């Protein structure tokens, strides 16, 4: 589980408490509990870098672009979104 930092139609950045390898495949579930919405998608890790003392910032590219409507649902609530 992680916290979503940024999202676009083509990818996302999030924090995890473990590192991931570049080019690693991911199954991602984006959850917005405030509006009870979720998106399941697949992605590939583009970059992984240490973030603070015990977290990693993961940047990934979605294998299939999200729609503008999906981005709007999650982008406006970044502080409350979760990633599973």
48 vs 66: CA distance, rounded Å? 22
Please tell me the predicted confidence (pLDDT) of residue 11. Answer: 95
What integer pLDDT is reported at residue 64 of this predicted model?
97
The answer to whether residues 47 and 34 touch, using CB atoms and an 8 Å cutoff, is no
- Cα 32 from Cα 13, distance rounded (Å): 15
Residue-level pLDDT at 37: 83
Q: What are phi and psi of 12, to 5 degrees?
A: -150, 160
- Residue 81 is predicted with a pLDDT of 46
pLDDT, residue 34, reads 79
- Mean pLDDT in consecutive groups of 10 residues from the start of the chain, 84 residues: 89 95 95 84 97 94 94 67 47
Based on its alpha-carbon atoms, the radius of gyration of the chain, rounded to whole angstroms, reads: 12
């Amino acid at each position: 589980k992680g916290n979503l930092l940024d999202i676009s139609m083509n990818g996302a950045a999030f924090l995890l408490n473990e590192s991931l390898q570049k080019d690693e495949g991911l199954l991602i579930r984006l959850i917005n509990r405030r509006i009870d919405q979720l998106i399941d998608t697949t992605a590939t890790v583009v970059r992984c870098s240490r973030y603070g003392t015990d977290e990693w910032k993961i940047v990934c590219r979605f294998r299939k672009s999200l729609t503008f409507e999906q981005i709007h649902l999650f982008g406006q609530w970044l502080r409350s979104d979760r990633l599973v």
